[in-house]
Every structure is written in structure tokens, then in C-alpha cells.
Amino acid sequence: MKVIITGGGGFLGSQLCQRLLERGALVGPSGDREAIREVVLLDAFFHRPATDARVRQVTGDISQRDAVMAAVGSAPGTSIFHLASMVSGECEERFDDALRVNLDGGRNVFEAARAAGGCPRVIFASSIACFGGEAMQDPNTDRTKLTPQTTYGMTKAICELMVNDYSRKGFLDGRTARLPTVIVRPGKPNAAASSWASGMFREPLNGETCRLPVRRTQCHPMTGYRTVIDSLIALHDVPADRFRDDRAIGLPAHRVTPQLAHAVLTELADERGLTLGPIVDAFDARIQKIVDNWPLAVEGSRAVALGLPQPPPLKRVVEQYLEDFGSQPRSGA
């Protein structure tokens, strides 16, 4: 089996690649587990070269159809995880680029899957930013109407519809994972309007100041990156006959506020002897306006019924980040 991961040089893409290599197999078109022979990572750039012989890094732009077609190829039994995307804050500032990368790029991926033949499985990473406006509920479910209020959410919603229709036509076997905000991302803040969600954990754990651009009472659906990776793989392996006409599956998530994050961090700091950096208010009206158009909570019962995992307790999500990426040493160490 050949696996393609768009956005394979990013955080989730690299984590997914590592997990797939550890597993060594996915469910193939036959319905049986098949060995993964090659993982193709397609991205605009890579931070470090691959060290596993099964991995091939391809530098390219998903908005360039020829690059996507070449990366996907025509090997039978191919599976595609489409993660590449411009993030929310960038999309609000760069409308034309958002259409080029997220919308045209998505169509390029779906067309490459169609051209490959054999109805390949395509897992598309969407977002709760598909929700918005007056149609939002508390919590939002897979039956909540999609009325996105950001360019980012609009492009994701359109790609969700394309996944449904390409699957209806038999061009591919598509499944969409509608992701909550994923925490805790290592490294520096990025241009996503939800970047604060990881920053309010990451920076204090590193002994640094977190500048919080939203209200401390702001509720937002969040889940851990390990759970997201496991969910993408589990969604890939669900038998095709378990889906009907809506292939967009919302993942379950915690309802998190900065106040709750601070309480969890304080408990962990007391247990581990850490000195936390402060969370200071740095209100940003532009960020708050975007976040105000996102759900306060989501309900993921369809995902759970299909066998996808629920996130562990929030404290455990943060502990997983510490296990994988560490923090400052214990005091006195």
C-alpha cells in the first residue's frame, strides 16, 4: 500500500507519518490490513530529511495540479490523507491565496485520487470553522447547518461537499474528519486564529509569558493531537458500508476556557515542581471576532459510534504533550 500525506512536513502530517510507520499497515480496498510500502509526504518545505526508507518527501504546492498528480500517481491501493491548508488567520488576510491553496488545492487532491483509479480512500481534515453565524447550536452536531463566517471555514465546507459528491460518484471513498482545535502544538505560535489555544499551555510550561488575545471565559472545543492522529487512522479503516450520504464526521472534544487551562496547569506544576510562565491579557479584537464565530462546543456521537476515540481528560492531553516534547526541568534538577 502507498500512502500520501499532503501537508506532510507540518506538525500533524509528521505525527501521522510516524504513527503509520509504527503501525505498518492500514485497511486496504480488499477490507484486509495491507502493509504500508511507501509514505509520500507532499509539502512546500520540510524541516528535516526523512530517516525511514519507506518515506519519500516531495516538495511541492498543492495548488499546482501537476505536482499533486505526480505525487499521487496511479498505484493501486493508494490512500490519501489531505491535511495541507492555509490556516484561519492567513485566510482572512489573503483571500485569493486561501482560494488557491485550500479550495483549488483540495480539488487537485480529489482529482488526483479520481485519476488514480480503484476508488482510493481519501481522508480530508476539515474544521469546526465550518460552523458559524445564527445556525450554531450548543453543542453543534453533525446535523448543524454549515454557515461558516470565515474564509477558512468556507473553503473547508466546500471541500466537505466535494468529498461527499466525489464519493457519491464513485470517484473515491472519501471520509472527512471535522477537527476541533488541536492542542498542544509545539514550537512557535502560528497565524491560526486558534493559536492561543496551544499557546496558553505551551508558553507557561516553558516558563514563558503567554499573551492571551481572547477573553478568559472564552469556551472553545479542543482535543489532543494524539487523539486526532488516532482518529484519522480509525476513520480511514472504517468499512465503507458504515457511511451513508454524509461522510463528514465531527470529532468529540473538550469544552475548554483559559480559566480551565490555568487550573490544569497549576495542578501539573504543583505535581512536577514546575514554575509556570504567566498568562497575561493581550486582547486582540480581530482574533476575538473570528473566535466569536466558532462553536463553543461540539458533540461527536457519530464518530464514537464508528469506533473513533474520545479524547482523554484535559490534564492527560497536556501530560501527553510533556511526554512527547518536554518542558523546563524540575526545580532543583
Beta strands 121-127; 173-179: pairing state: parallel
Residue 13 and residue 7 in contact, taking contact as beta carbons nearer than 8 Å: yes
Residue 282 and residue 213 in contact, taking contact as beta carbons nearer than 8 Å: yes
152 tagged catalytic: yes
In order of their start, the domains of the chain are 2-182+224-250 (3.40.50.720)
Q: Output the pTM of the full model.
A: 0.95
Identify whether 139 is preceded by a cis peptide bond (ω within 30 of 0).
yes
Selecting among 152, 166, 225, 321, the annotated active-site residue is 152
- Span 63-102, pLDDT tens digits: 999 999 999 998 778 999 999 999 998 999 999 999 999 9
Cβ atoms < 10 Å from Cβ of 248 = 23
Sorting pLDDT into bands at 50, 70 and 90, what band is 333?
A: very low
Alpha-carbon distance of 7 to 190, in angstroms, equals 15
Q: Classify 118 as helix, strand or coil.
A: coil
Alpha-carbon distance of 175 to 102, in angstroms, equals 17
Q: What's the whole-number mean pLDDT along residues 141-153?
A: 96
Residue 264 and residue 315 in contact, taking contact as beta carbons nearer than 8 Å: yes
Residue 264 and residue 271 in contact, taking contact as beta carbons nearer than 8 Å: no
**Direct distance between the N- and C-terminal alpha carbons of the chain, in angstroms, rounded to an integer:** 47
Alpha-carbon distance of 219 to 201, in angstroms, equals 15
- Span 271-295, pLDDT tens digits: 999 999 999 999 999 999 989 989 9
Q: Average pLDDT, whole number, for the chain? A: 95
Encode 286-322: b = buried (16+ Cβ within 10 Å), e = exposed: ebeebbebbbbbbbbebbeebebbebeebeebbbbbe
Alpha-carbon distance of 308 to 175, in angstroms, equals 13
Q: What's the whole-number mean pLDDT along residues 304-315?
A: 98
Angle 153-159-162 (CA atoms, 0-180°, nearest 5)? 150
% of the chain with per-residue pLDDT over 90 = 91
Please give the C-alpha separations between residue 83 and each of 109, 123, 164, 179, in angstroms, as whole numbers: 10, 8, 17, 11
Unique residue bearing C-alpha cell 445556525 = 135
Query: How far is CA 238 from its chain centroid?
Result: 18
